[in-house]
Amino acid sequence: MPVTNRSPLPFLVLALLFGAARTNAQDDERSRFLGIRGGYELGIQSSQFPVYDDPACGQFSNGSASAAAAGLIYLTPTFFSDAFGATLTLDLSRMGGLFTATPLERLYLPGGTTDHEYRFHSSWETARLGAGLYGRISRYFGWGAGLELGARFNAKFSQSDTITGATDLRFLNGRSQEPMTPMEQLTAAPLTLGATLSGYARLPLSRRVSVLPTISLRADFLSAVRERNWQTYSAMGSVAILYDLAPPPAAPPVAPPAIVAIDTQAANPVVTPPPSRPHLYGAIDLYGVDEENHRLPAVTIRVYEVVYRNRSGMLGTFYFDRRSAALPPRYIRLGREERESFSIDSLASLGPVEIHHQSLNLLGLRLRENPSATLTLAGLTSKDEPKKLAAQRAAAVRSYLAATWGIDTARVGIAPGDGALPRASESTADGRAENRRVDIVAGSPRIMSPVVLERTRREFDPPLIAIDPTMRADAGVRRWDILLIRDGDTLGHYSSADTTDPASNIDWQVSTDRSGVLQTLLIAQLRVEDSLGTTTTANAQVPLVIEHNVRVVERSETLEGNRERITYSLLPFAYRSAELNARNEAVLDEVAAATRNGARITITGYTDRTGSEEGNADLSRRRADRVAVRLIALLRNRGVRGAEVITNGAGIDTERFSNDLPEGRALSRDVDIVIEQTLPKGIAKNS
């Protein structure tokens, strides 16, 4: 008795058949495709039957299957409604299957023992007739689901014992495989019934010929044999060549000439009018929609633009490997062609360490932008290195700036001495590594100013423009197009090549780089063509007002309600120092300018891993306290009242920057300042 397959795939197929609708139909309603197809199928088979009388001796369970198939396919784009297309298939396939079972004992043969396995082979041929529905996901891609009924014939089953171990051992027949008498004589079920779920891509080669590659999943409702529950699941890849049987569209009929009837009893002839052409009508409406979905008589779009600006300080130092004057590979070097595409904007996604590794190119770019600026390079060495490396390292930096960025070497001087910054202690490997460097002294503050990185967020209120087309054609609509135009520029193009039905609500976000208020007209144009080639057009327009508001925010993020958080990082402190430098004084001026009354300011100091935990904890507190004293004085001078300043010493910091490189340790010697405060009135919504 056939055993029912309990796979969920048939139920999924039925749900798709009755619950999905086709979109983006592109074919003429008269199209009918006939083609040939071929494919290959891989699957799994699930059953359970014993190898011998006693099931304890082993049994076959899961197996594999493969099949080759060829046949015909018929496809029509419409079937009982425009929501579905239909397919008919007729295939002939030959499937082979293999079950394996592992014996409980090794095989004893003359000459020794070896591993072996029991194998159950099956094969049959199947003629299948399939019917299904299909729909499109896009212009070329779609899905299909259907049922298949077939007949199984030429079924064969065999069982064997196969040597899988030592290759020099053989059965008495001289072979590595010996036939076995199957424990159970199986009989193939004569009928097959199953379900398929497919994805396809129809690729036109010409007006009539298309290629249809398809991937299908198949599950059988019925068991493959009468005696056991034998289930088959498979996946098939196939390719079909389709030919459109429909004749080409007929040319529009030519209106016959007027027929003149002569009334012999009257002085004037009677003119019979020609037959009327099929009716074609198109109209379009264009309007704005507010937040409550109410229609607006005129469209006013407010553009809220927030520019988030972040700054990354330049260390002013290049670090070198021990006993080397060559620029380390981690510093990014460009060719002459690559330098032309280098810009500050290209660094927006990088962190502070990665930006430092672009310092050679930042120097080159800024020296080109400031042709009167000069540099002085001061090389250093550790005590275990030759002194001559100091000048060689500075020369390597100058050579790159000259060769890649075209900087005149007269603008880049090399200074003798021990560098522009204090030397690190030579008592540790980290300290010695930090002394293998080149310090930069710029003649212009623009050369070493922080790198300013920006990202922009735009919001539109309201964001929706509703386009409502109406079209009616007695002969059927062949194609339609909608253009959205402003000031002669096409802002949007929607057509029957993109969607089956005209869109009733099309989202359009204004794009403008003009500030202030812009007044213009927004125009929608509709063009409709019926199946006879007749066309009609319609236009609609609404007045459009664009209000553009820009706000620049430094290191800011909006909190709940009307609060914001602004974060600043001071440039790295000198080795083992808590003294503020001139560039950090400039950053503190910016912090004071951004602080409002009643703000809560948290200042956290950090150190690198050099030294003891106790010493670093004290140094980080002193750095935070020194910053707090200076910031409080600046706030007092600016008249900021009620600000709460909290200082913390975080000690050694290896979380934000790896301390394995000297630049990571340098970046760890900094202070973070976090301001939490109330947003000014009127900007909380669009921050």
pLDDT of residue 631: 95
Q: Rounded to 5 degrees, what are φ and ψ at 406?
A: 70, 30
Which stretch of 246-255, 343-352, 357-366, 381-390 has the lowest confidence by average pLDDT? 246-255
Residue 492 predicted with pLDDT over 90: no
pLDDT bracket for residue 165 (50, 70, 90): confident
The Cα–Cα gap between 360 and 348 comes to 17
At residue 17 the predicted structure's pLDDT band, cuts being 50, 70 and 90, is: very low
pLDDT at residue 6 tops 80: no
Q: Do domains 314-449 and 556-678 have the same CATH topology?
A: yes
Quick one: which of 247, 139, 134 has its CA closest to 202?
139
Cα torsion 418, 420, 422, 423: sign: negative
Nearest to 676 by CA among 508, 557, 522: 557
CATH of 314-449 given 3.30.910.20, 3.30.1330.60, 3.40.50.1100, 3.40.630.30: 3.30.1330.60
Residue 503, pLDDT > 50, answer no
CA angle, 307 as apex, 568 and 301 as ends, to 5°? 150
pLDDT of amino acid 265: 54
State whether residue 499 is helix, strand or coil.
Answer: coil
Lowest mean pLDDT among 466-470, 538-542, 657-661, 679-683: 679-683
pTM confidence score:
0.46
Structure confidence at residue 475 (pLDDT): 85
Top-level class of domain 282-305+457-552: mainly beta
pLDDT of 514: 47
Average pLDDT estimate for 18-29: 41
Residue 558 confidence (pLDDT): 56
Q: Could you read off the pLDDT of 297-346 as tens digits, one per residue?
A: 656 666 666 666 777 878 889 999 999 999 999 999 999 889 999 998 88
What tokens were used for 352? 């502070």
Q: Above 50 in pLDDT, residue 353?
A: yes
Split at pLDDT 50, 70, 90, the class of 287 is: confident
Q: What is the mean pLDDT of residues 19-26?
A: 38
- pLDDT on residue 20: 37
Q: What is the pLDDT of residue 19?
A: 39
Percent of the chain whose pLDDT exceeds 90: 38
Question: Where is mean pLDDT largest: 267-276, 370-379, 412-421, 496-505?
Answer: 370-379
Say whether pLDDT at 510 is over 70.
no
Does 3.30.1330.60 match the CATH number of domain 556-678? yes
pLDDT for 634 equals 95
Average the pLDDT over each of 120-129, 192-201, 358-367, 503-512 and give the range with the smallest value. 503-512
What contacts 54, CB < 8 A, 6 or more positions away?
A: none
Give me 117's structure tokens. 């396995």
**How far is residue 129's CA from residue 135's CA, in Å, rounded to a whole number?**
20
Q: Which range, of 147-161, 289-303, 639-653, averages the lowest pLDDT?
A: 289-303
Range from 9-13, 83-87, 172-176, 630-634 that averages highest in pLDDT: 630-634
Mean pLDDT: which of 327-331, 345-349, 560-564 is highest? 327-331
Listed in sequence order, the residues at least 6 apart from 636 whose beta carbon sits closer than 8 Å to its beta carbon are none
Alpha carbon distance 325, 387 (integer Å): 11
> Residue 537: which of 483, 475, 467 has the closest Cα?
483
Q: Which of 182-186, 368-372, 423-427, 591-595 has the lowest mean pLDDT?
A: 182-186
- Residues paired with 197 in a beta bridge: 145, 217
Instruction: Check residue 459 and give its pLDDT.
Output: 65
What's the mean pLDDT in 108-114? 81
What pLDDT shows up at residue 4?
44
Token pair in block for residue 661:
């490189």
Mean pLDDT computed over 670-677:
91
Cβ contacts of residue 157 below 8 Å, gap of 6+? Answer: 120, 121, 122, 182, 185, 186, 188
pLDDT of residue 291 exceeding 80, the answer is: no
Distance of CA 594 to the CA centre of its chain: 37
Distances in Å between the Cα of 429 and the Cα atoms of 305, 489, 617 are: 49, 64, 21
| Lowest pLDDT segment from 372-376, 435-439, 527-531, 542-546 | 542-546
pLDDT tens per residue across span 406-463 = 999 999 999 886 666 788 888 899 999 999 999 999 988 889 888 887 767 666 666 6
Label residue 26 by pLDDT band (50, 70, 90): very low
For residue 53, pLDDT beyond 70:
no
Sign of CA dihedral 10, 14, 20, 21: positive
Question: What's the whole-number mean pLDDT along residues 457-480?
Answer: 78
Who's near 498: CB < 8 A, 6+ residues apart?
Answer: 24, 139
Question: Quick one: 679 exposed, middle or buried, by C-beta within 10 A (0-12, 13-18, 19+)?
Answer: middle
Confidence of residue 13 (pLDDT cuts 50, 70, 90): very low
Rounded mean pLDDT, 269-296: 73
* Mean pLDDT (whole number) for 516-541: 82
pLDDT cut 70: percent of the chain above it:
79
Q: Where are the domains positioned within the chain?
A: 9-244, 282-305+457-552, 314-449, 556-678
Side chain identity at residue 506, one-letter code: I
Kindly indicate the confidence band of residue 81, based on its pLDDT and cuts at 50, 70 and 90: low
Of 99-103, 477-481, 499-503, 524-528, which gets the smallest average pLDDT? 499-503
Q: By the 8 A CB rule, do 447 and 435 touch?
A: no
More confident residue, 98 or 185: 98
Arithmetic mean of pLDDT, 70-83: 79
pLDDT at 18: 40
Average pLDDT along the chain: 81
Which amino acid makes up residue 555? Answer: R
Indicate whether 57 pLDDT > 90: no
Burial 275-298 (b: 16+ CB within 10 A, else e): eeeeebebebbbbbbeeeeeeeee
Query: What is the pLDDT at residue 449?
Result: 85
> Average pLDDT for residues 222-248, to the nearest whole number?
88
**565-579 average pLDDT score:** 84
Q: What is the reported pLDDT for 16?
A: 43
